[in-house]
Structure 1
Amino acid sequence: MRPGQTQFPYVLISENLNLAGACDDFALEGVKIGLGVSTFRSENDFTTIFDALCKVGTDFSLIQAEDINYSGDGRFSRVFGHIM
């Protein structure tokens, strides 16, 4: 990461693994996947990532998570802990 560069946490909800793979092109430290949810951090803005995902597939939700307040256990903790 470049000094002063903003990182945005993202959550992708989709059962289409091709979409999660497309996120890897934008992810700074990889993509964590579990139970139809993928998380990653990126320096790219929401529109850039959303447009790229639209070219790969449909039936997904992309969330830019400004303030992650997550509490849980199991596999979701591993997935969400990746962007906290």
Structure 2
Amino acid sequence: MSFGGATSAMIASIKNNKRPRKSAIEKLKKHGYYDNDNPDQLSFNKTATEEQLEKIRQEAKKENRRKLLTYLIPIGFISIAALIAIGFVKF
């Protein structure tokens, strides 16, 4: 009997899932964000001013609006064209 590639892919997936997982706390300790003196607190060295945060927020909003329009405009044209085509085919 031939099992094809599905069985080998399943076996590879099972083997990959056996790898040891790193916890989030280990990653934070590795990069120096976890405070060993007070384990309930995270310490970040980088800070941003309110003006910088507002600028980042505005840029993100502008980029999201631009992406939304680039997705909605073609979908709108396709929808209108499909409705017109369906109208001509029906009559």
Q: TM-score range by the shorter chain?
A: under 0.3
> TM-score, normalization: structure 2?
0.18
Point out the structure with the larger strand share: 1
Structure 1 or 2, whichever has the larger Rg, is 2
Point out the structure with the larger helix share: 2
Higher relative contact order (CA 8 A, sep 6+): 1
> TM-score, normalization: structure 1?
0.19
